C-alpha cells in the first residue's frame, strides 16, 4: 500500500484512478492494477489508499461492519473524498477495508500515509486445523480398508496409505481454492 501511495503522490496530474486489487490463492493482497486518467495541469488533490482494520483485536471474532468503518473514516478525514473501497476477507471473515480517496496533497509538508495495523483472524486458521482434524478419522478408516483389501502390512496401513490419502485431500483442497479465487477475480474483472 505504501508503494502505491508513494507512486500516486508523485503523479502530477491524476484526476481519476480505478483500482483492481489482486489477491493470491491464500487471499493475501499480491498486487494492484490502477487505471488512471491524467490531466496536463497539476491536480489540486492526490489519490491515496487507506487501510481500515475491521477486527479490533487479534482474537476478534466479530468484525466491525464495513459501513460503520467507512463512516468512522469519513468522520476522521472530512477533507477527503472516497472514490471506492474494497473489503478483504480471510476464511469468510472480513478483516480489513481498503479505501481509495482523494484529498489535499500535503499535511504539515509531508504526505499522509496510513500505517494502521490489521489483524488476521485466528478463527480462520483454527477452522482450517479443525477441518483437517475432522477429516483424519475418515482418512484412517479408508486407509485401513485399503490395507486390508490389498493385504498390506499393518505399518503400511498406518503410515503410507494415510499419507497418500491426506496428500490427495490437500492437493484437491488447494486446487479447489485456487479455482474459487480465480472465479472471484474474473467476476471482479467483469464488473469493471
Through-space distance between the first and last CA atoms of the chain, rounded to whole angstroms: 21
Rounded CA-CA distance 95/88 in Å is: 6
CA angle, 46 then 7 then 108, to 5°: 50
Domain span holding position 109 = 2-119
Q: Kindly report the pTM of this predicted structure.
A: 0.53
Domain C-terminal end among 71, 101, 119: 119
Q: CB-based contacts of 166: which residues, under 8 Å, 6+ apart? A: 135, 136, 139
Q: Is there a single domain that holds both residue 164 and residue 72?
A: no
Q: Give the residues of the chain that fall short of pLDDT 50.
A: 107-119, 121
Q: Is there a single domain that holds both residue 110 and residue 141?
A: no
Q: pLDDT value at position 155?
A: 74
Domain C-terminal end among 99, 119, 139: 119
Tell me the pLDDT tens digit for each residue of 109-140. Answer: 444 444 444 445 455 555 566 666 777 777 77
Q: Is there a single domain that holds both residue 91 and residue 14?
A: yes
Q: Is there a single domain that holds both residue 106 and residue 139?
A: no
Amino acid at each position: 500500500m505504501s508503494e502505491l501511495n508513494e507512486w500516486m503522490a508523485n503523479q502530477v496530474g491524476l484526476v481519476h484512478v480505478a483500482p483492481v486489487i489482486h489477491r493470491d490463492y491464500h487471499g493475501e493482497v499480491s498486487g494492484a492494477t490502477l487505471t488512471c486518467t491524467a490531466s496536463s495541469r497539476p491536480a489540486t488533490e492526490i489519490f491515496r489508499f487507506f487501510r481500515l482494520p475491521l477486527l479490533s483485536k487479534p482474537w476478534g471474532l466479530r468484525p466491525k461492519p464495513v459501513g460503520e468503518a467507512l463512516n468512522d473514516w469519513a468522520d476522521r478525514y472530512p477533507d477527503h473524498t472516497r472514490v471506492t473501497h474494497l473489503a478483504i476477507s480471510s476464511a469468510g471473515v472480513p478483516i480489513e477495508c481498503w479505501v481509495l480517496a482523494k484529498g489535499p496533497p500535503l499535511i504539515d509538508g509531508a504526505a499522509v500515509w496510513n500505517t494502521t495495523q490489521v489483524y488476521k483472524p485466528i478463527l480462520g486458521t483454527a477452522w482450517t486445523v479443525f477441518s483437517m482434524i475432522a477429516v483424519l478419522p475418515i482418512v484412517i478408516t479408508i486407509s485401513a480398508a485399503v490395507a486390508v483389501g490389498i493385504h498390506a502390512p499393518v505399518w503400511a496401513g498406518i503410515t503410507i496409505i494415510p499419507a497418500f490419502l491426506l496428500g490427495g485431500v490437500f492437493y484437491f483442497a488447494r486446487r479447489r481454492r485456487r479455482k474459487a479465487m480465480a472465479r472471484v477475480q474474473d467476476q471482479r474483472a467483469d464488473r469493471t
